[in-house]
Amino acid sequence: MTNAAADSAQRPLRVAIIGAGPAGVYAADILTKADRDFEVSIDLFDQYPAPYGLIRYGVAPDHPRIKGIVNALHKVLDRGDIRFLGNVNYGRDLTLADFRHFYDAIIFATGAIKDAPLNVPGVELEGSFGGAEFVSWYDGHPDVPRDWPLDAKEVAVIGNGNVALDVARILSKHADDLLTTEIPSNVYAGLKKSPVTDVHIFGRRGPAQVKFTPLELRELSHSRDVDIVLYPEDFEFDEGSDEQIRTNNQTKTMVNTLTNWLVEEQDTGACRRLHLHFLHNPVEIYDDAANPGKVAGMKFERTELDGTGNVRGTGEIVDYPVQAVYRAIGYFGSELPEVGYDEQRGVIPNEGGRVINEDGAPVPGIYTTGWIKRGPVGLIGHTKGDALETIGFLLEDRLNLPAATHPDPSSIIELLEERGVKYTTWEGWLKLDAYERSLGASYIHPDPLTGELVRERVKVVDREEMTRISRGE
């Protein structure tokens, strides 16, 4: 063992985790609870002034899972053994070389926030949007515009995952029914003016191949004054579908729900309709002479199941007049400065969480976890498993990590202040959290469903305002 390694073995292991969403928090929690005979010192960084990442900026505000997940993450960070440093942008405020000076190991948990591409003609037309961009808007992301063009009466949402259902539900739901959530004021005002009457969700495969969960599906039926419309010709099942239904309880539940809706479907005269289409493959988004350059409709090729649960084209083209298209076919990870990037998968190249270089060799002291490690698939349980694997390898490598030259926890704070970075802390988040809750408490309105006056919080959107409140300025 070298003198540097011997020194690092005697002091606390200094670890920086970049990304304070579920992946980063779980990694920090697992590391603090790991069976070890040495101390750890963890700093959790995020580019936003507030923690929680995609839970705060990527999940619909009316989603019932939000509160439970946020409460769990809050308990981890509120213990005091993990230091949160928000409003710090990796690659701008701090470089990889900076992190190397202050930490023995760096874990990237930056997630995936971009839209996966949809490669069809017309995707560039005005009125064609990324679903992830829309989610960021309605969740009050500090770095997106405050206004959103909600002028379409008929809308297409492409995708059969949870994000597609969230996007379609928010588009079709009455704005007043979202007032019990933390929806920002500018988002409420935008949705309130929306003239939408019909939202169409399109999936390429059949009802047994959908990627959303039973919970997400059931939430669709909870929207007031919104009819769900299904089509008998879309309900096709092959041998692969039958096998999936027999062996997967989640698939069985969703297929039963959908077929029951189909059989029981009634036109209640609701002023908005949410249409579920299956066996539709996107072909083209088009404009017309009346509105050149703007979305006027979308064409699909009807597909059919091939016996394995996959589909093939039938050659039949169907056309839907819509004035807006939302692409919700998945998220995609972003490239990070000074770190390798797989352009095909949108991830940091790694083996089990150990970041690797172009030759496939591990980069000492650099790790990754979450969606930027494995791609944007799986739920919270998968994120925990990811973190467990990554932390296992980090602990295994501990005695061979490149030792930090400035391991004192105060050193990184001194550098941030020297560079004028207005970083936020956990104590600052508690101030912002209390402020948002006070806004909610002062926002008195009748709940359209219960008649009660309920508003848990109103989310602050502006980054500078979030930072000022957090820092007590």
Binding-site residue set: 23, 54, 160-163, 204-205, 216, 371, 378-380
With a CB cutoff of 8 Å and minimum separation 6, the contacts of 33 are none
Instruction: Give the largest CA-CA distance in the chain.
Output: 77
- d(CA 402, CA 398) in angstroms, rounded, equals 9
Q: What residues form the annotated binding site for NADP(+)?
A: 160-163, 204-205, 216, 378
- d(CA 327, CA 41) in angstroms, rounded, equals 41
Bridge partners, 312 (sequence order)? 304
Strand order in the sheet with 362-368: 82-85, 40-45, 13-18, 105-108, 362-368, 354-356, 350-351
Kindly report the number of other CB atoms within 10 A of residue 143's CB atom. 10
- d(CA 186, CA 12) in angstroms, rounded, equals 46
Q: What residues form the annotated binding site for FAD?
A: 23, 54, 371, 378-380
